[in-house]
Amino acid sequence: MQEQLVQEITKLVIASLGKSEIEDTKQLIPIGISARHVHLTREHIDILFGKGYQLNKKKELMGGQYAAQECVTLVGTKLRAIENVRILGPERKASQVEVSKTDAIRLGIKAPIRESGNVKGSAPIAIVGPMGAIYLEEGCIIAMRHIHMSPEDANNFGVVDGQIVKVKIDNGRGGIFEGVKIRVDQTFTLEMHIDTDEANGLGVGKEMGILIK
Amino acid sequence: MQEQLVQEITKLVIASLGKSEIEDTKQLIPIGISARHVHLTREHIDILFGKGYQLNKKKELMGGQYAAQECVTLVGTKLRAIENVRILGPERKASQVEVSKTDAIRLGIKAPIRESGNVKGSAPIAIVGPMGAIYLEEGCIIAMRHIHMSPEDANNFGVVDGQIVKVKIDNGRGGIFEGVKIRVDQTFTLEMHIDTDEANGLGVGKEMGILIK
């Protein structure tokens, strides 16, 4: 019964979108699923891993970023921990922890949904490395979903930096992500970034998203 | 088969002890099982819980000590965590973490077996509280089993401070703890202290141990 209801609602939703919105299936966006991760300043790497320690690359990511071999352990204000959380390099000007809502609940913290870099007044979090520990008074966020693209991509899609769009996941267990922010930069490779909750919630695997303006 | 072997070995061990050693069953020692816990300095309480924070008593223990309501989370150098570890008050001159061997394995640290207070060169450990985090370069030990007693008790048992004795656990799943150190002080109440591994290993519950010199 419930499944039938879901199917019927899905049909209605698709119908209500109108052909114009989803007809142009050339608006395809690759999707990258971000697991929880940490960005660190030089100073914090010194504390957590030892003075002058250099992060080791495990996997190249877009825009000159990389997943480091190194991990840390997060502890929230309710003293609950998530172990072995990946560090993303290179070093940043401010340390930042990006978790999913599920992680935030596990850690017992109220992490706000924010664009990367906007950590003012965000949740406190302890970060423990093999050689030390730090406590960020603020710095833990749930990353707001967004699409990275180059100016050329933006031109092709007819969107501008900062614009809010929708992205449809057409996989039978999918749906539509609303409130997706366009982020345009010459260094960006076309990719939508969602977290593990978002991916799991709409059954996102390796398929492309469909951009809806 | 294995059980039979264990029973036979047990018989042999008991026989080999000789009557003189276990005959005097008036040598009874109450046993306290210490779960993992943390002692903190005033300075570290300030960092972990906020400046001037006072620990709250949950349960009185012997010798003026108490289990605090407050807990911390431990993270070892392999970034594995043990959450909500009890603090014992009052404040001490040096912070110290006491774990079982099982805990040390879980944390991925090489904690040495030491008398309380002897932390020189012991394992490093991160301690996270709700308001901050500290990293002890040394301070994590596995407590050496011992018997606290008053000078009067020592006199009655015919032992002296620092003496090494044995304690028999006579419960059918028990055995004998060797290398048990006598610690005599006017403030001490008679009690043998073992950790959870030792208790679980010899099936110690609420029974008394039998002191064997």
Total domain count for chain B? 2
Give A157-195 pLDDT, tens digit per residue. 999 999 999 999 998 788 999 989 999 999 899 999 999
Q: Is residue B18 part of a domain?
A: no
Q: Does B80 share its domain with B105? A: yes
B135 contacts chain A (CB < 8 A) = yes
Q: Dihedral of CA A107/A108/A109/A113: which sign? A: positive
* Residue range B147-199, pLDDT digits in tens: 999 999 999 999 999 999 999 999 878 899 998 999 999 989 999 999 999 99
A51 plus A118 within the same structural domain: yes
Taking an 8 Å cut-off on Cβ atoms, the answer to whether A130 and B75 are in contact is no
Share of chain B above pLDDT 90, in %: 77
* pLDDT surpasses 80 at A69: yes
The complex's ipTM?
A: 0.70
Query: What per-residue confidence (pLDDT) applies to B4?
Result: 67
In a domain? residue B201:
yes
A7 located within any domain: no
Q: Which residue of A has its CA nearest to B131?
A: A77
Whether B211 and chain A come into contact, CB under 8 Å, resolves to no
Indicate the pairing of strand A57-60 with strand A66-75: antiparallel
Across the interface, of A78, A84, A126, the residue whose CB is closest to B133 is: A126
Report pLDDT for B16: 58
Distance (Å) from the alpha carbon of A205 to chain B's nearest alpha carbon: 30
Q: Does the pLDDT value for residue A30 go beyond 80?
A: yes
B85: which residues sit within 8 A by CB, 6+ positions away?
A: B36, B37, B38, B71, B72, B73, B74, B97
Question: CB distance from B51 to chain A under 8 Å?
Answer: no
With respect to residue A1, please indicate whether it lies within any of the assigned structural domains. Answer: no
Domain range holding B58? 35-143
> Which pLDDT does position B13 carry in this prediction?
59
Q: Does A106 touch chain B (CB under 8 A)?
A: no
Contact status, residue B195 vs residue B143, Cβ threshold 8 Å: yes
On whether the CB atoms of residues A209 and A28 are closer than 8 A, the answer is: yes
**Is B108 an interface residue toward A (CB < 8 Å)?**
no
Does the residue B100 lie in any domain? yes
Confidence of residue A12 (pLDDT cuts 50, 70, 90): low
Residue A61 Ramachandran class (φ > 0 left, ψ -120 to 50 alpha, else beta): beta
pTM above 0.80, yes or no: no
SS (HEC) of B70-124: EEEEEECCCCCEEEEEEEEECCCCCCEEECCHHHHHHHCCCCCEECCCCCCCCEE
